[in-house]
Amino acid sequence: MQQTLSTTTVPYLNQNNIQVIRRNGCVTQLDISKIRSVVDWACAGVDANPITLEAGLTTKLQDGVTTREIQDNLINCALEMTSPEEPDWRYVAGRLHIWSLWKDTLVRRGYQYTSYARTVADKLQANQYDQRILIYSPEELEIAGSWINPDWDLDYDYAGVVLLTKRYLLPDELPQEALLTCALLLASVEAPQDRLVWAKRFYVAIATRKISLATPILANLRVPGGSLASCFITAMDDNLESIFDTIKDAARISKNGGGVGTNVSRVRATGSWVMGKANTSGGVLPWIKLLNDTAIAVNQGGRRAGAITISLDVWHLDVPEFLEMQTENGDQRRKAYDIFPQLVITDEFMRRVVAKEEWTLVDPYEVRTKLGIELAELWGEEFEQAYRLIEASSDTLKLYKKINARELFKTIMRSQLETGMPYLAFKDSINRANPNKHQGYIPGVNLCCESFSNVKPGGESHSCNLCSLNLANIEETEIPNICRTAVRLLDNTIEITQPPFEGSKTHNDKYRTIGVGAMGLADWLAKRCLSYNSLAQISGLFEDFGYYCTHASMELAKERGAYAAFEGSDWSQGKLIGSKPAAWYTEHAAHPERWCQLALDIQEHGIRNSHITAIAPNTSSSLVQGCSASVLPVYSRFFYDKWAKGTVPIAPPFIKEAFWYYQENKNLDQKRVVKAIAIIQQWIDTGISMELLFNLNQGVYYPEQPTATIKARDILETLVMAWQEGCKAVYYIRTVQRDSFEESREECSSCAN
């Protein structure tokens, strides 16, 4: 006979003697049936036995217990019972958390989902909602409120609902209210007769977790004066005015929760001339130190520190010190522990790494003044010709250093294995694929290595708004419609965002850069019994993704006009994703005819957004979405993550039905990952956040050799392969340390989208 929560199964529990304190402070007698009804509700429709949960609670009841304590005990019991064999308990814990949220909200404001119009009025009065929501009449708000489905709150597991609640919801706000308000504001720029139509499409896609909004959109859109862009890139020129303007811009970005990329390659090197005096310059490190301290000081209202990646071209004389700026030894005044270093790598350098040839580090100021070359803005053949000229003119230069390229790359790798960084940005690959070569160049990548476009010091600063498609929740037949919805949604954000500084606004107006990304590829593959070796299927999926997103931007151009810098761009010349000619698609695409027609359509009608697709890391937002992060394999099929309140179980959505089809990244040859990312990159016009994870334990990659471990040569070959295969950047390098499967789970602080 099964046990149930009753005084029969627990003789010492006399519910007549137990008084319970309710959320509103009232005291009442314990009613076992109410607990049982909540347990049954939380377990409905998932593989979790409510009787088991009831039995786990009985010993935790005592006189004076609060309903919140009962609820927390039920949640803890559910979390403790979560396992690879019974993963659905994490959904039970999530529902119980939602139940508490509903009840707390009811106590504090007196209603739950019964009146959305009242919620809007209350939030406006409290100055928590943007006044732009008043573009909708009370009647329209009531109509919108009728779309709310409270059951959609029940789809989150515990990790997802806790993140959603603590990171994104405003005080006394429920999840569907937040998502609906975002949808209404996103549709506010539509024609009056179409606003509710698009608002409903946006809301349903967001609420059913088919589209994930980036953190700045979900966190800032509803509040007055919020910036919606996730990614920014600025560049310093070699003068004090530009340097301090860049630092000020970084502060403004950090204030609004954006991630900052700053290129410092134009700044003169250590020992260079200042005001005609030799050996006077302190190089790039003092300015990086100021950016480091800015990231700490401007902490988004105390929510979290700012996040800044500093990029430096690999030919700069300060590169060796740049690679040492996060070590403990040396002058602490020249250390920067809170920024994220990034090296901008040229093809010529990588060729010399492979060939073990000599590389020359130079001072950009001396090269500029003596040879008339601004090396930072060159790439491809122009860079190579200028660089050879510089090397041939070394007898006229005083500040330069010759070093073996392979040895320098080993130093880079050593830093990556110790700290996960520097990130690598392959400058020539990035700029070859830049559709706006006619207007400038791309100096480096953003904080998460997936979003980038032209930058001009003091003029244009890359700005990009992001969202992601949740492939775990999307069927193939839905891709065209979801892509159209996502592109339109992001194009609307450009109209309603409030750029944090003038260079950002200038860039938005000129390029209208957006980044539709993807998450849940590991789930999409597992659900179909595929793996990361299924390159044809992966290519087919992302060919559709790239095509429909690009097509949607072309259709928007018909309706709203092309981006301002379209004329003269590669798009205008019939070149498509990655600036590839239509002929490339004839050879490589599964459906070449549609690409050829799209090239003609774009030449005729233009395209609304200069950059359209970019795949972010989605480390945190994927937990809210209930899927695997980005397009990478799952770290592990099941693991516990350490949070402030203890350990939280993490598992992908289809773990029960497709357990063995989830390839674990901690055991996967990273060359397979690189190959898959390279295939996806063909269909993505900007970039992909590609983390690589190397397991240092014995026998992981060589089952036939139980004592064999991965060698430095293997890691070198993997990184070289990433460059050769056309990957545009390498984000973090992660390691699984010997005899330990604990992961260092640092996350992108702004692109968790």
User: Is pLDDT larger for residue 67 or for residue 147?
Assistant: 147
pLDDT-based confidence at 55, cuts 50/70/90?
confident
Coil vs helix vs strand at 642: strand
307-313/646-650 β-pairing: unpaired
User: Of 378, 433, 430, 437, which Cα lies nearest the Cα of 565?
Assistant: 437
Counting residues of the chain whose pLDDT is more than 90, the rounded percentage is 84
Q: Which helix (H) or strand (E) holds 426?
A: strand 423-426
Q: Which two tokens stand for residue 8?
A: 């029969």
Query: What does each C-alpha distance from 1 to 4, 174, 395 come to in angstroms?
Result: 9, 40, 92
Checking if the pLDDT of 750 tops 50, the result is no
Contact indicator for 690, 722 with CB cutoff of 8 Å: yes
Please name the residues in contact with 151: beta carbons below 8 A apart, sequence gap of 6 or more: none
Confidence of residue 262 (pLDDT cuts 50, 70, 90): very high
**What is the C-alpha to C-alpha distance for residues 733 and 731, in angstroms, rounded to an integer?**
7
Using the predicted structure, report yes or no on whether residue 407 has a pLDDT greater than 80: yes
- Quick one: average pLDDT of 289-309? 84
pTM above 0.75, yes or no: yes
Average of per-residue pLDDT across 23-46: 90
* Structure tokens that stand for 186 in this block: 């996103």
Distance CA 661, CA 530 (A): 7
Q: What is the pLDDT of residue 737?
A: 83
| Model pLDDT, residue 739 | 60
Contact criterion met (CB below 8 Å) for 434 and 511: no
Give the pLDDT of residue 7: 38
pLDDT of residue 704: 84
Query: With 90 as the cut, is the pLDDT of residue 132 above it?
Result: yes
The verdict on whether 727 is a catalytic residue reads no
Higher pLDDT, 426 or 642: 426
Specify the pLDDT at position 40: 96
Q: What is the pLDDT of residue 12?
A: 39
What lies within 8 Å, CB to CB, of 746 at 6+ separation is: 420, 732
Q: Confidence class of residue 155 from pLDDT cuts 50, 70 and 90?
A: very high
Confidence of residue 196 (pLDDT cuts 50, 70, 90): very high
Q: Decide if 43 is catalytic.
A: no
Determine the pLDDT at residue 271.
97
What is the number of other CB atoms lying within 10 angstroms of the CB of residue 543? Answer: 22
CA distances from 67 to 97, 158, 174, 342, 603 (A): 13, 19, 20, 50, 64
- Per-residue confidence band for 22, with pLDDT thresholds at 50, 70 and 90: confident
User: Closest by alpha carbon to 261, among 314, 309, 293?
Assistant: 309
Q: Which residues contact 145 (CB under 8 A, 6 or more apart)?
A: 115, 116, 117, 180
Q: Is the pLDDT of residue 164 over 80?
A: yes
Catalytic residue list contains 751 = no
pLDDT bracket for residue 711 (50, 70, 90): very high
Identity (one letter) of the amino acid at 92? Answer: V
Block residue for tokens 């089952």: 703
β-bridge pairing 27-29 and 211-213: unpaired
Q: Which residue has the tokens 């695409």?
A: 589
DSSP secondary structure of 302-351: GTS--EEEEEEETTBTTHHHHHTTTSSSS-GGG--SSSEEEEEE-HHHHH
pLDDT reported for residue 56: 82
Other CB atoms within a 10 A radius of the CB of residue 750 amount to 29
Give the pLDDT of residue 16: 59
Q: Look-up: residue for tokens 């959320």?
A: 23
Contact criterion met (CB below 8 Å) for 648 and 641:
yes
| Helix 712-724 vs helix 670-681: crossing angle, to nearest 10 | 10
First to last CA, the chain: 48
Handedness of CA 244, 379, 675, 582 (dihedral sign): positive
- Cα(562)–Cα(560) distance, integer angstroms: 7
Residues, the chain: 753
Write the burial class of residue 736 (CB in 10 Å: 0-12 exposed, 13-18 middle, 19+ buried). buried
The predicted pLDDT at position 725 comes to 98
Binned at pLDDT 50, 70 and 90, residue 297 comes out as very high
- Residues 63-122: pLDDT tens digits? 888 888 888 899 999 999 999 999 999 999 999 999 999 999 999 999 999 999 999 999
One of 220, 263, 431, 446 is an active-site residue; which one? 446
Active-site residue, from 173, 450, 460, 691: 450
- Please, are residues 190 and 140 in contact by the beta-carbon 8 Å criterion? no
Say what the pLDDT of residue 454 is: 98
Band (275; pLDDT cuts 50, 70, 90): very high
Kindly report, residue by residue over 463-499, the tens digit of the pLDDT. 999 999 999 999 999 999 999 999 999 999 999 999 9
Q: Between helices 240-255 and 502-511, what is the axis angle to 10°? A: 80
In sequence order, what are the residues at sequence separation of 6 or more whose Cβ sits closer than 8 angstroms to the Cβ of residue 54? Answer: 3, 4, 5, 35, 36, 39
Average pLDDT, the chain: 93
Give the 3-state secondary structure percentages of the chain, helix then strand then coil, rounded to 5.
50, 15, 40
Q: Rounded CA gap, 730 and 663, in Å?
A: 21
How far is it, in rounded angstroms, from Cα 38 to Cα 42?
Answer: 6
Q: Beta strand pairing status for 211-213 and 358-362?
A: unpaired
Query: In this structure, which amino acid lies at residue 35?
Result: I
**CA-to-CA distance for 19 and 484, rounded, in angstroms?**
56
Name the β-bridge partners of 401: 361
| Per-residue pLDDT tens digits for 589-637 | 999 999 999 999 999 999 999 999 999 999 999 999 999 999 999 999 9
| 3-class secondary-structure state, position 617 | coil
- Judge whether residue 748 has pLDDT over 90: no
Distance CA(516)–CA(449), nearest Å, equals 14
Q: What pLDDT score does 428 carry?
A: 98
Residue 328: which pLDDT band, with cuts at 50, 70 and 90?
A: confident
| Predicted pLDDT at 702 | 86
Query: Torsion angle of alpha carbons 719, 721, 725, 728, nearest 10°?
Result: 10
